[in-house]
Amino acid sequence: MTAARRPWTLQRRLIVTVVAITSLIMVLVGVATSALLGGVLEEGLTNRLSATTARIVSLARPLIVGGLSAEEILRQHPQQAGLLLAVVTPPENPTAAVTEADGTVTALTDDQLRELASGLRADGPLVVTIDAVGTFRVVGEATGPSIVVVGLSRDEVAATIGRMLVTIGLLTAGGLLVLGTGTAWVIRAGLAPLRAVADTAEDVSRLPLSQGEVSIAERVPAEQADPRTEVGRVGSALNTLLDHVDSSLAARQRNEERMRRFVADASHELRTPLASIRGYSELSLRALEREDAPAALETTETSLERIQAQSLRMTRLVEDLLLLARLDEGQELVYAAVDLTRLAVDGVTDARAAHPDHEWQLAVGDDPVVVAGDAVRLSQVVANLLANAGTHTPAGTTVAVGVERDGEDAVLRVRDDGPGIDPSIANELFERFARADRSRARQTGGTGLGLSIARAIANAHGGTLSVRSEPGDTVFELRMPARPSDPA
């Protein structure tokens, strides 16, 4: 079985294609030029032959009558080198001679005369090749009973065409060598960005991207990723892709860490009530084994109350987690017209009862601010924001709640003049199980799901929940699309 042929590289294919096409063009140009030049030279030779023939015939006519042979005529009247003269005077044998390059005159042999005679078969200028003499363009003309044949050597024409072909060949070879070298350099330089892209892609392909913290630092060099060039666009696109992949991997890592933290926090939140339930269950069983029935009954009753309280705590936690999951899936919402002003009034009323040590202020207009949403879930958002302000600010803090229309949006703001949010948790305030109080105390810590639920509900309604905070001024802002005002 033969091995698969190694494929050609793009650089090799381009070089071979360019050189082959250029070679073909130069060969065609050389052939066409030679043909044109040859035609011009032959035409010039024919014209000179016509003029020479007229001159030689007028010169040789009286000499032929005098019985001189062609050799004698050329000796008496020397002519240009390469001139052929043949005289046929019946019934005598024809004679012919040629003037050599050194000026000597050489008579043709009988065989050479027969070759000359065999070439004279048509009218007009003819080309005759005579062994050991050369190739001549000849023409015959009758003068009385005799025939005079005059020819001019084609050696000069052939030599000129040959020199031109050699020159064209050398220039073609040199030009192709220069073309190949220049093309290779240009193509290599032009494909450098592609090689940089390939090298970068190979480096990235070796990175372990499946798990753990991953950062892709490899990039195509800036000089090879110029988007103004076709090949540079490939490098620029790869760099953009790697940026997206790098940010996606970073987001994946953050999500994994957040999920691990979420599982740990959820486990911690569930472990405490489960441990309490288990402890009180064991306490109740031991109490029932004692003989003191009234004391056992009292202990069992207390234990069952604590078990019920911890069960309710777990139920609330599980329900909050289930609510978040359903909100993420776009469920749990029942849309209707909801008046944010009414929700704010009810929320502040409840907050005053729950946190009487705070000063609660309400700033709403006379006209209702209506949105399309789930009244129960939106009231939960308001309640969470007010509970957050009441729980995490000291006694005497002023909490102001305001509702207004801002263009096409309905805005609810909860502002307090408390100490502000700790900058260390500001970026993760709306994350699940995020807690301003790192302790797990129920009085101040909570489960850390309140604000994450509030933001999830706001996002599910197509709105936003944001916060800005500095010491003495913390503002939570709920912004949602408002319904058009009813016409008066």
SS3 457: helix
Domain map of the chain by residue range?
10-168, 210-332, 336-481
Radius of gyration from C-alpha coordinates of the chain: 55
Determine the residue type at 181: T
H or E segment to which residue 93 belongs: none
Between helix 375-391 and helix 450-460 the angle, nearest 10°, is 150
Q: Which residues contact 305 (CB under 8 A, 6 or more apart)?
A: none
Tens of pLDDT along 48-79? Answer: 888 988 888 888 888 887 778 888 888 888 88
Whether the Cβ atoms of residue 234 and residue 194 lie closer than 8 Å to each other: yes
- Fold match between 210-332 and 336-481? no
pTM of the model: 0.47
253 class by beta-carbon count within 10 Å (0-12 exposed, 13-18 middle, 19+ buried): middle
Measured distance CA(47)–CA(381) in Å, rounded: 111
Q: Residue 481 pairs with which residues in a beta bridge?
A: 409
List the pLDDT tens digit at each of the 488 positions of the chain: 455 677 777 778 888 888 889 889 988 888 898 889 888 998 898 898 889 888 888 888 888 877 788 888 888 888 888 898 888 877 667 888 898 888 888 888 888 888 887 767 655 568 888 888 888 888 888 877 788 889 998 888 888 888 888 888 898 889 888 988 888 888 888 777 777 888 888 887 777 766 666 677 788 887 777 778 777 887 888 888 888 888 887 777 776 776 676 666 666 666 767 777 777 677 677 766 665 556 666 666 777 777 777 777 677 666 666 666 666 666 667 788 889 999 999 999 999 988 999 999 998 888 888 998 888 888 888 988 998 888 888 988 999 999 998 888 999 999 999 888 877 776 667 776 655 554 444 444 455 677 888 888 888 888 899 888 888 889 999 999 987 754 43
For tokens 């090749």, what's the residue? 129
Respond yes or no on whether the N-terminal peptide bond of residue 125 is cis (omega within 30° of 0). Answer: no
CATH fold of 336-481 reads Heat Shock Protein 90 (3.30.565)
Whether the Cβ atoms of residue 125 and residue 138 lie closer than 8 Å to each other: yes
Looking at domain 210-332, its CATH architecture is Orthogonal Bundle (1.10)
Measured distance CA(374)–CA(480) in Å, rounded: 12
What does DSSP assign to residue 482? B
Tens of pLDDT along 175-197? Answer: 888 988 888 888 888 777 777 88
